[in-house]
Amino acid sequence: MREVILEIKDLKKSFGEHQVLNGFNLKLYKGENLVVMGKSGSGKSVMIKCLVGLMAASSGSIKIKDLDITSLGQKELDVLRTEIGFLFQGSALYDSMTVRENLAFPLRRNRDKINTSQTTEEIVLEALKNVGLEHTIDLMPSELSGGMQRRVALARALILKPKIILYDEPTTGLDPITSKEIIQLMGTIQETYKTSSLIITHDVDCARVISNRMILLIDGTNYIEGTFEELSKSGDPKVKAFFKN
Ligand SMILES: Nc1ncnc2c1ncn2[C@@H]1O[C@H](COP(=O)(O)OP(=O)(O)OP(=O)(O)O)[C@@H](O)[C@H]1O
Ligand SMILES: [Mg+2]
């Protein structure tokens, strides 16, 4: 039996009258790349925010490594969060900090999380090397291209060596070549660190390359699940719509 690392059961979330998630379920197995695809506005970011406790669910259960996150206090939630890398939609770097400071930031409070004799400087440099950007260490985010910002954000998400990585639209807003580079980087990271990843995207190419398994989020629920192969051959018009272009 494969180990379940993260599980969402019957997740509901509404804003006033607007029901965004209406009984969403997923299981992320150890070591896999699970892609959740859904139209813009379908609730993908809302789902991932509920998952990390940035937003309260209306109902449902969310378990990460057998811990029910809805029952955790702030302190326990903070500890759990250090085991999860989160690449935000956009890049969400701190504009007023250099690349070095952006990467060192998560280390400040969680230095003990990393079992190494390396200095902060060495950890930051290694993380930047992993994404091929060690030369940008003293630059400000505004001095980087969009693709470089995304790579720095990825380096920051990985700096505490998390076992679970959540990607919210890792390739959106990037040109096809840069997207490809980011997707390759995601693959390398999974192979190197044996991470389990939940990837939210509406980029079909990204899903094709990176996914071991996919879920389509339609009408607030997990409409269909399967491999890219299986889903892309589906005759269901709602499913076909995703793979048309
Ligand atoms: N804080 C909020 N208050 C009210 N409504 C919200 C809030 N956050 C999200 N929504 C609504 O929830 C719905 C889903 O938003 P969400 O950001 O999850 O979409 P998405 O699937 O991530 O879309 P995209 O692909 O464009 O990123 C939208 O209709 C949005 O307006
Ligand atoms: Mg979103």
Q: Tens place of pLDDT for every residue, the chain, 245 residues?
A: 789 999 999 999 999 999 999 999 999 999 999 999 999 999 999 999 999 888 999 999 999 988 898 888 888 888 888 889 999 888 789 999 999 999 999 888 777 777 678 889 999 999 999 889 999 999 999 999 988 999 999 999 989 889 999 999 999 888 888 899 889 989 988 888 889 999 999 889 999 999 999 999 999 999 999 999 999 999 999 999 998 76
| pLDDT per residue as tens digits for the range 7-64 | 999 999 999 999 999 999 999 999 999 999 999 999 999 999 999 888 999 999 999 9
Atom of ligand 1 nearest to the CA of 49: 18
Residue 245, pLDDT score: 60
pTM assigned to the model:
0.91
Phi, psi of 4 (to 5 degrees): -85, 125
Task: Using the Cα atoms of residue 133, residue 196, residue 166 and residue 164 in order, give the sign of their dihedral.
Answer: negative
Atom of ligand 1 nearest to the CA of 55: 1
Pocket of ligand 1 (CB under 6 A): 15, 20, 38, 40-46, 89, 169, 202
- Residue ID of nearest Cα to ligand 1 atom 19: 41
Ligand nearest to the CA of 22: 1
User: HSE on the CB side for 128, CA within 13 Å?
Assistant: 22
Number of domains forming the structure of the chain: 1
Atom of ligand 1 nearest to the CA of 38: 21
Query: 104: helix, coil or strand?
Result: helix
What residues pack around ion ligand 2 (CB closer than 5 A)?
Answer: 44-45, 89
Which CATH number covers residue 75? 3.40.50.300
- Residue ID of nearest Cα to ligand 1 atom 30: 41
What is the domain extent for residue 38? 4-243
Ligand 1 mean position to 12 CA, how many Å? 13
Ligand nearest to the CA of 49: 1
Q: Given ligand 1 and candidates 12, 14, 15, which is best to mutate, with the most ligand atoms within 8 Å of its CB?
A: 15
Ligand 1 mean position to 91 CA, how many Å? 17
Residue 61, pLDDT score: 94
CA distance 54 to 40: 20
Contacts of 51 (CB under 8 A, 6+ apart): 6, 8, 62, 64, 69, 166, 198
Q: Are 211 and 187 in contact (CB under 8 A)?
A: no
Residue 14, pLDDT score: 97
Ligand 1 mean position to 67 CA, how many Å? 26
Residue 193, pLDDT score: 85
